[in-house]
Chains A and B, each alone.
Chain A
Amino acid sequence: GQQLNQSPQSMFIQEGEDVSMNCTSSSIFNTWLWYKQDPGEGPVLLIALYKAGELTSNGRLTAQFGITRKDSFLNISASIPSDVGIYFCAGQGTASKLTFGTGTRLQVTL
């Protein structure tokens, strides 16, 4: 099945640094979602974006829905150790199905 391209694939950062990751698609989506998955667990929704150009924040997280509706980015400010995990973007089209990105593995060093 289709997957969305996420970059970077993985990143090591120091505690306190800001993080940026993005997601691109060849298809248009009506909704963009960002999830975090910890090892051995299901994904947890972080941010949902419903309109092209929308910029939404949730605490230290900020995400934007690209104008073209084919991309989105997620920023994490002042990273902390518990930010470690895999971040997935997901696009939702007119049908209810979610298409997930390839994931960005975040590791934080003290």
Chain B
Amino acid sequence: GAVVSQHPSWVICKSGTSVKIECRSLDFQATTMFWYRQFPKQSLMLMATSNEGSKATYEQGVEKDKFLINHASLTLSTLTVTSAHPEDSSFYICSASRTAQETQYFGPGTRLLVL
């Protein structure tokens, strides 16, 4: 159990366009989902925490108007990168947990390339 999926697994888009990434908990209900970003050869950096039915909490330095997060159901959270630029190219990884304090299960990641 505790499987998390992401879609798409990779995406290429033009600069200025918006891209939506989905994160789903397949066999459990997740009240909390987390979004991370990982640049090449670097560690995972938390971008934001989302709780089902409420607004996401963003980490310092992450623009909430640029990275829109929606957690409308207990099995789905979405991250929309608005007006993407080449510097937004990265590996975006989500994680989900049944409650905020429980184990986080990670998705397989989405590689975004902005041209």
Chain A interface residues (CB < 8 Å from chain B) = 1, 3, 35, 40-45, 48, 88, 95-103
Candidate in A42, A45, A97, A100 with the most chain B CB atoms within 10 angstroms: A42
B44 touches A1 (CB 8 A): no
Chain B interface residues (CB < 8 Å from chain A) = 4, 6, 32, 34, 42-46, 49, 59-61, 91, 93, 95, 97, 100-101, 103-109, 111
Interface of A is mostly: loop
Which chain B residue shows the least CB distance to A43? B106
A99 to B36, CA, bound (A): 11
A101 to B107, CA, bound (A): 19
Which chain A residue shows the least CB distance to B99? A96
Cβ-defined partner of B43 (8 Å) among A44, A48, A96, A100: A100
